Structure 1
Amino acid sequence: MAGKDKLNNTALDKLLKESITKAVTHSDGLGLSVRVRPSKTDKQNNMNWLYRYRIGDRTTSPQTIVLGNYPDLSLAKARKKRDECRAWLADNKDPKFEIALAIDKTIKPITVADALNFWIDEYAIGKRTNALKHRQQFNKWLVPALGHLPLSSIKKSHWIKTIRKRSKQYPVAAGYVLRNLQQALKYCSKKGYEIDRSVFDIDLDDIDAKKQNKRSQRLVEDDSWQRLEDLVKWLDTGNMMPYYRNLTLLLISFGCRTQEVRLAESKEFNFDTQVWTVPAAHNKTRDKDQAKGQSGEIKRPIPQALIPMLKSLCEQHKDGYLLGELKNSEAVSGWGGKVYKLLGHEDAWSLHDLRRTVATGLNDMGIAPHVVEALLGHSIQGVAGIYNRSQYLPEKLDALNKWQDRLALLRGDTNNVVMLGRVSGEAKKGRS
């Protein structure tokens, strides 16, 4: 075996100043050498560290790469780089490519902002209706402090410190940000991004976050429909922005998700077939439905009582959003979370509780459970969900027409309305 560590710092400093007329090379051993070339400025010679190696046995041609310049790259560091090259060769990796990759990472490392935007653009935009909300939250919670830093350098403590700056004021939102961050980084990790995996060990307690309270409020109960009646009559007064009045009317008419109305466009409503087709992109359960071979769309018949209102909205907002504009989900939920106070209700309820209200009311009126589930746009589980592709349009239309009759009765419009199901004793007394 050839010797190693043949050079020393004294010899290198001497070579740096030595008078020479042509390039010479001095070996340090194990493939490392220093090439000395005469200086053009008469100050000091140019010295480059070289590493010479072969890919394969001695029948292959040798290759040479430049590791750096002396004295910028010291003798000790040059030997360390040589040992890295030898380790790469032992793993059947070409040092030339490995050095190029390392330089690329150093020159332009993947930043936190790069990774978060990669997840949004490559995954969330196509899979999540709230993708833009995720980006806004990342930009508010994480990007200002960490966005410009290399992703591979961010440790668990960095994530915790950054999120906790806002978590005391917004503990529920902090948990939401953490969950999305962890999902984003899992996706990035699968795509080859280098990350510190300790981020996946962070839990809600670490960042002083809280889970969102899952209230289960319904505005109708076995012994009283009073709260829903209060809401219907209040909507009829029109003492609110038209956007929110129309939004709420459609929520209590169809039992749909808030985002399905908020994102709805006029082109989704076909008045020839009298069907509202919610596109798969707006359907929360589209992934489950499409995994079963379904389109992911939700089809709801338009009851006769709603046609005038919907036609008017579609004519006013052709080629646009049904409600005339796109409000963000925070603004909509914020408004909806205050309505119960305006109506003087003791227990808080949200816009999503209107969906539970419609489901409860329809079941209370004797509508078949599978029809109610289809109207809500729930993914049907089990074998039935795989083999039964029916949209139940006739049954849905019958259910929605009966539901419109019930709403008309609650608002006091009893002309030609037949009451179905149970009614509270107070309601009976008031209308006898």
Structure 2
Amino acid sequence: MATLAERSRRAVWHPCTQMKRLDDEPPLAIVRADGPWLHDDQGRRYLDAVSSWWVNLFGHNHPAMRAALVAQFERVDHVMLAGLTHEPVVELSERLGALTGLGHAFYGSDGASATEIALKMSAHSWRNLGRPAKCEFVGLAGGYHGETVGALSVTDIALFREAYAPLVRLSAALPSPDARTAAPGDDAKAHAARCAAALEAYLAEHHERTAALIVEPLVQCAAGFAMHDPEYLRRARALCDRFEVHLICDEIAVGFGRTGTLFAHQQAGIRPDFICLSKGLTGGVLPLSAVLTTDPVYASFWDDRASRGFLHSHSYTGNALACRAALTVLELFERDDVLARNAQTAQRLDALLAPLAQHRAVRHARRLGMIWAFDVESDVPGFSGAYHRRALAEGLLLRPIGNTLYFMPPYVLDDAALEQLAGGALRALDAALGS
């Protein structure tokens, strides 16, 4: 009888995967998940140290989440949101508005959808205001905002974009405030200021055609977890105000406590014109994204003419079950004082990770909130895949990005799990390097 992995190879086209590789490295067949652990069909368990692609916050099969979804299913599972509404989507919109200061929530299904919504909404808003020339966008070098065609226009990673170049309307990519690339003598804040000067020069010349700047605040995850000083966001906000350009904060990966605050942009003391949310929004349980925006943007669509409305939609917009999951996430943050608890967890893991941070092959060891990253100096061919395999042998699910090893674990690791993560990650590194 064929195994689950064999059946998957034949029937499932896996994301972000060269399928031929699965002939030699079959996918893990997960049959159960609880807390931070994934259990496969061979009886092995793995610490989900990447939160199942950065989505899981409170562990798998959380009792509060399970109870909330069962109760919601007994009332309303899903209804269309065009001309109808329901309690979870209203309450969630109110809660997110209160937390962000952005009072109008529009819903999608995933992060790329949120990017598409924000880009379309920004350009359409300028059009409604009589400025249709403002229809171009600008992002940062190494930026990642999704892989649909519109999102690829502001994604500056060649691996994802090159094959679709004829379909994509390219946007400008300005210097990243990545602290690793600071000039000698510059600290992270000074480097951020230099990169903001490049943004100023660009907007001075192109603001009449620029609808919005889109940034991943504080951490560019897909760019090898490039971290930058909040000074860049403060200056970007001021420049966007000065040149009448929308600021879009893509908090899809870094929102909901990942950087130490509920939302990363809060560390800069700013408010964006748009915020994109997904991943941790539902605690990694159901697909949902949200885009929140300002009163002036919303008002630009308020009209008797349908053509001036925002006519974006999908069948599952504002799904009641997904909204209930998101409300449960917000309740857990309040009930369990998650941000304070995370700060304590991060300190414990920092101490355990000291040998890894000081490893002879590690450069630029860094942490922000509950995100750790380490650049590995290695000429081992295919280091990322080699490390992934060695980590699995240690009972760890880790997927380096190039030569950058990172951890973005769920917030529910006990001391034993922390020790396994730190010790196993170090042993896997030595094994992958052949030392």
Question: Shorter-chain TM-score category?
Answer: under 0.3
The higher radius of gyration belongs to: 1
Higher RCO (Cα < 8 Å, 6 or more apart): 2
TM-score, with length taken from structure 1: 0.24
Flag the structure with higher strand content.
2
Flag the structure with higher helix content.
1
